Structures are given as C-alpha cells and as structure tokens.
Amino acid sequence: MKVVVVGGSAAGMSFAAKYKRNQPSDDVIVLDRRDYISFGACGLPYFAGGMFDDTERMISRTPEQANQSGLDVRIETEMLALDRQNKCITLRKDNQVSELFYDVLVIATGATPIIPFFGEFKPDNVFTLTSLSDGLALKTALSDPENQRICVIGGGFIGLEVFDAAHGLGKQVTIIEREHHLMSKQFSPEMIEEVESAIRESGADLKTGCRVTTIRDGEQGGYLIMTDQGEIQADVVVLSLGFQPNTGAFNLAKAPNGALLVDEFGTTDDPHILAVGDCAVVHHLALGQSVYVPLATTANKQARMIADKLAGKDTYMAGFLGSSCLKVLDYELACTGISERLAQEHHLKVKASSISDKNQTDYYPGQEDIKIKLVYHPDSHVLLGGEIVGKKGAVGRINALAVAITAKMTTQQLGYLDFCYAPPFARTWDALNVAGNVAK
C-alpha cells in the first residue's frame, strides 16, 4: 500500500514513523514544502529570547535520518491540487509539476498565523512566530540594542511567551489584548487577574479590552500602532492572533474555521483520506464534541493512534482535554478540560468552585499561593475541567486533574484521592484534595 503524508511537522512525522514501523513493507512518502522536517515550533519563543542558540535543538529528525529509517521524505515539495476521484495529488518541486497517486492520503498541513489587514507598513520588524525563519528573524530583532520597544498584539499562549522572552532581555513590552482579560478562552477572570497585575508590576504596559485599528511606519523609524485606547510606539511588533488551518487545497468537509472534520480515527468524509494535527478537529473528551485544539501534544498522540489504526492494530483513544500550560514571569498557568466559558458557548450546564491554598508546608522554604478552579457536572459532580495558577506546583497538579477527569472521577473522589505528601511538595491535604472537598 502507498501512503502519502502531506506535511512533515509533528503530526505528519509522528504518523509516518509509527506507521512505517507497523508496516515496513508499505511505501510511506512524506511531502513538505520547507527544507526541513520534524520541527518543534514550541521552542521558538525561548530561542528568540536567548535561552539557547542552536536551531538544531528544535529539529528532532533530519530528512536524511528519516530516509534512512525507510521513509521517502521529499522536501521543498508543494502540493497544488487534490483529485479525489483518481486518488492523485498534483505537486510542484523546482518549478516542475508532477502527479503522485496514493492509496491513503494523510493530511497534516498544520495551520497558518492569522494576520489581519492593519494597513500598509514596512514589514521588516513585524513578525509572527511559527517557522524557523520566523524565530531567526525575531531573535535577530530582539538582539539589536536599538530595538527596545516591543509590542505584542494578542495575549494568548504565544503572545505571553514572547512577552516573557522580551521581558527577560530587558525590553519595554506592551501587550495588546482585544478581550478584557488575557487567556480568556482558557482562564476565568478571577484566575488570571493576579498574573495580569504581576505583568503590569514588572513594568510592562498591558492593555486589555483594546483593539488595534492601524499599524503605520513611524516618522523616525519603528511603528505607530493605532488603537481605540490611543497610540503606541514600537520598534518591533509581534502578531499572535491565532491560527487558520491550512486546508484551502482540500475539498472536504470542514468546521467553520476551516479545520477538517474527522471521526475519532482521523478519517475525513473521504474514506481514503485522513487528517491530523492543527489542520483538523479532535474529539473533546469532557465536552463530547469535536473541537479545534491546535496543540503539539494532541497532534502527536492522535497521529500515533491513527497510524496504529490504519495498520490494523486494536487501538482507541477516548478523546482529548486540551491540557495546556504556560510560564509567565514566576507564574505557572495550567488548564485542562472544560472552562465555564467553553461550557456556555456549547450550552452545557456546569457548576464551578474556586479555592486559594498553599502549594506546600510553611516551615519548608518555598511556600507559595496556589489557586484552583474546578468545573463539574451540577448533578453527578463528575469533574469536567479545571484551572490552576501559582508560582509553584500548578503544572504537576493539572496533570493529576487531567487523569481524574479522564477517569470520570467526582469532586468527592478528588477530595479523598491519595496524593503523596512530604513538606517540600505539599501539605497533608493537598491543594487538589481541598479543591475537591470545597466543591458542592
């Protein structure tokens, strides 16, 4: 069987490598329009911020290494068109157009940053951050001592990671967020307000509920960002406004945002075409519906499961929770499952409760505040989601909560769950126990 994979990043390469191990006699061809594969874009903010300098550390596998394992990787090859009836795709490489037939096509084309039209300006120091070239360009800009004023438009994951990187380099950072709070899709206002205060106290200018209307070239260099809250001057602008799935070339069923609709095994409305990663939806375990969750963890796990399924292995994944985490200044922000906002958007009735507790005992150095919010079913009290924010221990606890949600545990069961205890790590009643016992 000939399996053709379009896209050689996390999802595409995870699928290809696993499927080839499962079915070594099958032909597995991977196409990518770039000159590299297996790139970990999640490292880009830290690379740009100077935490490391070797770009190879973000590339887990070269095309040569992949080919040595039995794959047929073809870089700098762009897919132009899909002929579903004849199971054929049209390709372009070195200005030469050709056709490639397949038995199974796997779409792993990822997503592209959303770039609204903000007017005409010189793009030299205006960046998005998804590709290797993006990272190299932003790193160069941030390394320039003349570029001191950094404006980040969009207060989501990438925007806050870029803020953290620029702040660590001593830059003057402005964050512009259209919503009234940062990370509003993932965190409730009462959970994020402390972090917002810390960002402002760090010297950054955080503008929430603020809309950008125009970006202009400054008369003396740099940029003028026009907003409904006034004018901002910047030497460097970073756009982090979300992603658009790369699915324009595919005449297949799609979600409103363009993500390909797939079943729990990644099959599109064409049984010979699969889709995985940031170009497709996934099944949300707690919500019970398909949603768009563009995360590297989700892409890798879904790809591996699809590779096993296509190879005839008995495999099943119940779904995903969108478990996510982020470092901002000294804070850990972590979430999993359903938020109250997501529940409202999907007309799902839930209850929620929040606590403020401590991460460990007070007599061992390092005690910090930790906030936990639980979202759960109003009748059964089955856990559906949670948010944890603190300077120490938030990420580890969200992983435990993700396990509890997957196991369909109740708040009462969480309250009595036998977590480990030692003074440097927790209190005798862990903060998660307390959160479970408080939830009514």
For residue 24, the number of C-alpha atoms closer than 13 Å in the C-beta half-sphere is: 4
Sequential DSSP letters for 361-408: -SSSTT--EEEEEEEE-TTT-BEEEEEEEESSSHHHHHHHHHHHHHTT
For 104, the 3-state DSSP assignment is: strand
Would you say residue 317 lies in a domain? no
The confidence band for 316, taking pLDDT boundaries of 50, 70 and 90, is confident
Q: Residue 385: pLDDT above 90?
A: yes
Are the C-beta atoms of residues 187 and 324 closer than 8 Å to each other?
no
32 and 81 share one domain: yes
Sequential DSSP letters for 227-290: ETTEEEEESEEEE---EEES-TT--S-B-TTSPBP--TTSB-SSTTEEE-STTB-EEETTTTEE
Would you say residue 97 lies in a domain? yes
123 and 107 share one domain: no
Mean pLDDT of 168-186: 97
> For residue 440, what pLDDT is reported?
84
Q: Residue 390: pLDDT above 90?
A: yes
Would you say residue 32 lies in a domain? yes
Tell me which residue range forms the domain holding 168.
114-239
Residue with tokens 């075409």: 273
Mean pLDDT of 113-120: 95
Q: Residue 220: pLDDT above 90?
A: no
Q: In the chain, pLDDT over 70 holds for what percent of residues?
A: 100
362 and 433 share one domain: yes
Are the C-beta atoms of residues 279 and 293 closer than 8 Å to each other?
no
Report CA 282 to chain centroid distance, whole Å: 13
The confidence band for 243, taking pLDDT boundaries of 50, 70 and 90, is very high
33 and 69 share one domain: yes
Which of 77-81, 317-321, 356-360 has the lowest average pLDDT? Answer: 317-321
> For residue 213, what pLDDT is reported?
97
369 and 302 share one domain: no
Would you say residue 318 lies in a domain? no
For 319, the 3-state DSSP assignment is: coil
Question: Cα(408)–Cα(91) distance, rounded to whole angstroms?
Answer: 46
Mean pLDDT of 265-270: 96
From residue 100, alpha-carbon distances to 89, 284, 418 in Å are 5, 34, 56
158 and 267 share one domain: no
94 and 171 share one domain: no
CATH code of residue 399: 3.30.390.30
The confidence band for 294, taking pLDDT boundaries of 50, 70 and 90, is very high
Count of domains forming the chain: 3
Question: Cα(49)–Cα(165) distance, rounded to whole angstroms?
Answer: 4
The confidence band for 364, taking pLDDT boundaries of 50, 70 and 90, is very high
61 and 130 share one domain: no
From residue 378, alpha-carbon distances to 171, 350, 383, 440 in Å are 46, 5, 10, 9
Give the pair of three-digit tokens for residue 381.
Answer: 């009290």
The confidence band for 77, taking pLDDT boundaries of 50, 70 and 90, is very high
Domain boundary among 179, 214, 239: 239
Q: Residue 146: pLDDT above 90?
A: yes
**Sheet architecture: strand order including 212-217:** 212-217, 223-227, 230-234
Give the pair of three-digit tokens for residue 412.
Answer: 């009462």
Mean pLDDT of 186-197: 98
Would you say residue 262 lies in a domain? yes
Question: Cα(78)–Cα(83) distance, rounded to whole angstroms?
Answer: 15
6 and 93 share one domain: yes
pLDDT tens figures, 322-358: 999 999 999 999 999 999 999 999 999 999 999 999 9
Which of 176-180, 238-242, 248-252, 316-320 has the lowest average pLDDT? Answer: 316-320
Provide the mean pLDDT of the chain: 97
Size of the chain in residues: 440
Mean pLDDT of 32-37: 96
Would you say residue 183 lies in a domain? yes
338 and 190 share one domain: no
pLDDT tens figures, 60-69: 999 999 999 9
> For residue 312, what pLDDT is reported?
96
> For residue 318, what pLDDT is reported?
85
Would you say residue 325 lies in a domain? no
Mean pLDDT of 420-425: 96
- Please tell me which residue, 220 or 181, carries the higher pLDDT value: 181
Are the C-beta atoms of residues 171 and 136 closer than 8 Å to each other?
no
Mean pLDDT of 250-258: 97
Mean pLDDT of 224-250: 97
pLDDT tens figures, 395-407: 999 999 999 999 9
Burial of 154 (0-12, 13-18, 19+ CB in 10 A): buried
pLDDT tens figures, 4-25: 999 999 999 999 999 999 999 9
Question: Cα(23)–Cα(18) distance, rounded to whole angstroms?
Answer: 9
Are the C-beta atoms of residues 105 and 31 closer than 8 Å to each other?
no
> For residue 428, what pLDDT is reported?
97
The confidence band for 313, taking pLDDT boundaries of 50, 70 and 90, is very high
Would you say residue 320 lies in a domain? no
120 and 232 share one domain: yes
Which of 196-200, 220-224, 413-417 has the lowest average pLDDT? Answer: 220-224
Mean pLDDT of 75-98: 96
> For residue 188, what pLDDT is reported?
97
Q: Residue 219: pLDDT above 90?
A: no
Give the pair of three-digit tokens for residue 12.
Answer: 């595409």
CATH code of residue 255: 3.50.50.60
pLDDT tens figures, 295-311: 999 999 999 999 999 99
27 and 138 share one domain: no
